[in-house]
């Protein structure tokens, strides 16, 4: 075995060992769903609330697992990621490959009109009132709106997704979803277990959709910059609740460095963020010590102007560098983002003259991104 192969095998094994304990939400969530279905250990409303919230949060963690699978980084295995991703996508009515293709573009075109995942908030053609109504409906009905938003990439007449092989995979995954849920509803109807189905699955699933929608909003809504480190909110904290939530969700809350480095292993993102803060002390990164701090920063945008990019005051983005969106890039800033839109430059693009430009850009960010003024350096 060559040194390179041995090193790659060691890295994959390390990633797997880091990820496997995080799957505790799987059996815990299944236990909560079974307890709801069987009214165990007793039919008491307090226990129902406990099991419902437990099941809902575990289902929410599965959406983070779905995200990790889309990056092909789940346990360091591409094939394992695809298998798990297709299963989870079937459960939540979102074909795995339509989510992956949408998410690739989300990383490449953050906060731009071509960011299909953040529609309608990223689309300057949508009115403020449409975005408000959609936003307020998405909070309670995220379980419905999310499949619709992702499905646009496949069904919309102006979709950039033209690869026939990928479209075939998505078509087959839609067929699998229809077949599975038709069979599931048939079984529920035949056994007349609608109440159990609603109690043990539908209600926790709706709550999980609310959690997921708030996570998306907290990370993105109101963010103006096209630079991945400044155009997303990042949560890094030392509190036990923040650390546990981050751990169970594959460090997805460390969102800025993840957006810049989509292939970076999730358990190393906190260190990467610390490096950026050390390298660029003049910048006020939107990094928060708890999720509640990030939500507080989100609220004005959520209430008054739900949008990102141009919809919250950003200039028209510059044309991207020549690039390929068939897969995630290693470094979005270095490979895709135009220098005019970059604030935290890629290492290889820095020159002796660039720190002054960088400081000037940081000043512009302070003026144009009010949310950065309240961000916490951590």
167-194 tens-digit pLDDT: 999 999 999 999 999 999 999 999 999 9
Band (pLDDT 50/70/90 cuts) for residue 344 is confident
What is this structure's pTM? 0.88
Q: Is the pLDDT of residue 15 over 90?
A: no
Q: What's the pLDDT score for residue 73?
A: 87
- How confident is the model over 82-96, as a mean pLDDT? 97
Q: What are the residue boundaries of the structural domains of the chain, listed by start?
A: 20-373
The residue count of the chain comes to: 378
Band (pLDDT 50/70/90 cuts) for residue 366 is very low
Question: Exposed e or buried b for every residue in 317-354, given b needs 16+ CB within 10 A?
Answer: beebeeeebeebbebbbbebbeeebbbbbeeeeeeeee
d(CA 118, CA 259): 14
């Amino acid at each position: 075995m060559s040194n390179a192969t041995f090193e790659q095998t060691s890295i994959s094994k390390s990633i797997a060992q880091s990820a496997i304990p995080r799957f505790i939400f799987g059996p815990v969530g299944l236990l909560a769903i079974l307890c709801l279905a069987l009214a165990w250990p007793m039919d008491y409303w307090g226990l129902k609330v406990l099991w419902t919230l437990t099941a809902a949060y575990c289902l929410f963690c599965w959406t983070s697992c779905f995200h990790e699978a889309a990056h092909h980084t789940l346990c360091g295995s591409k094939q394992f990621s695809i298998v798990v991703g297709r299963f989870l996508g079937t459960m939540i009515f979102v074909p795995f490959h339509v989510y992956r293709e949408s998410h690739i573009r989300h990383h490449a075109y953050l906060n731009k009109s071509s960011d299909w995942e953040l529609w309608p908030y990223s689309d300057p053609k949508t009115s403020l009132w449409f975005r408000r109504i959609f936003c307020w409906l998405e909070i309670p009905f995220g379980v419905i709106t999310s499949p619709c938003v992702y499905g646009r990439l496949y069904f919309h007449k102006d979709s950039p997704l033209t690869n026939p092989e990928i479209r075939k995979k998505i078509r087959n995954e839609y067929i699998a979803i229809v077949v599975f849920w038709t069979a599931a509803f048939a079984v529920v109807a035949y056994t007349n277990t609608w109440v159990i189905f609603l109690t043990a699955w539908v209600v926790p699933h709706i709550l999980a959709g609310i959690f997921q929608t708030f996570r998306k909003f907290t990370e993105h809504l109101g963010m103006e910059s096209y630079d991945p480190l400044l155009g997303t909110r990042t949560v890094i904290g030392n509190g036990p609740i923040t650390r546990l939530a981050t751990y169970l969700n594959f460090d997805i809350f460390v969102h800025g460095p993840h957006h810049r480095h989509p292939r970076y292993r999730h358990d190393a993102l906190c260190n990467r963020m610390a490096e950026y803060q050390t390298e660029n002390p003049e910048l006020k990164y939107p990094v928060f010590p708890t999720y509640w701090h990030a939500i507080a920063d989100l609220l004005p945008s959520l209430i008054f102007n739900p949008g990102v990019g141009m919809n919250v005051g950003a200039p028209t983005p510059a044309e991207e560098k020549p690039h390929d969106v068939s897969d995630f890039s290693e470094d979005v800033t270095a490979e895709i983002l135009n220098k005019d839109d970059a604030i935290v430059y890629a290492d290889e693009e820095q020159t002796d003259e660039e720190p002054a430009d960088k400081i000037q850009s940081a000043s512009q960010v302070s003026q144009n991104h009010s949310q950065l003024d309240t961000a916490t350096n951590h």
